[in-house]
A = this chain, B = another copy of it.
Amino acid sequence: MVKQERAVRTRHSLIQAAAEVFAEKGFASASLGAISKRAGVSNGALHFHFASKDALADAVEEEAAATLRRLTEAARARQGDSLQAVVDATHELVCSLGQDVVVRGGFELACGVARRADSQLRVQWQSWVEESLRRAERGGALAEGVAGVDAAHLVVAVTAGMEALGREDDSWLSRQRLTGFWELLLPRLADQRGLGALVSAGSPLSAGASASGRVGDAGLPASVAEG
């Protein structure tokens, strides 16, 4: 089973390289040659692991979806059905978009018009946000007259916009930017009683969690991240 080990490594570097190239050039303009070269393997090796370009892209999306799933589940586990869970999850997502090429590449593929419409990534994120805000609504965490679905649509639109704009300008993916958004949104969305407990910048544990176990975490200093 020593062989298998190398295969796993090859497969992983292939996905990594693919995510990078997809993120840089988009699906259609990315060439398999560039991907296999960046991964340091031959063209044939690529086709041994992934039958086609689409299959490779699917794998990238799949891995990004797994990361997204971990991320949202962790947020809910910590914050329950509160609004804070959504705030935290958006922060983690935006942070990943800036640091994890697989997530970035996955969303590039999910957004692109050239691939299948029922992108797992988009619907997964949108479903989670909707579900979470519906729970918050049921739990009375939302302000009077604010429907959970409407709030969810707004949150999804904002994050989608940040992702799209962040492709060319990293400042859209900064924590400050998103914090500013929540500071404009929370007073209107949240029930007055719970408003004081909400942290626009994301709860400390969230920030800590996002920083842990991620290679090349060049995030903000802890003092700032907590502020």
A156, B161: Cβ atoms closer than 8 Å: yes
Cβ of B26 and Cβ of A113 under 8 Å apart?
A: yes
The CA of A185 and the CA of B187, in the complex, are separated in Å by 10
Copies in the complex: 4
* Count of residues in A whose CB is under 8 Å from the partner chain: 41
In the complex, A150 has a CB within 8 A of chain B: yes
**Chain B nearest Cβ from A27, distance in angstroms:** 8
Interface residues of A (CB under 8 A from B): 23-26, 28-29, 108, 111-114, 117, 119, 122, 146, 150-151, 153-154, 156-165, 167-168, 172, 177, 180-181, 183-185, 187-189
The closest CB in chain B to the CB of A22 belongs to B113
Known pairs A26-B28, A122-B168, A150-B183; list 8 more (Cβ under 8 Å).
A25-B114, A154-B158, A156-B161, A157-B165, A157-B181, A158-B158, A161-B164, A185-B188
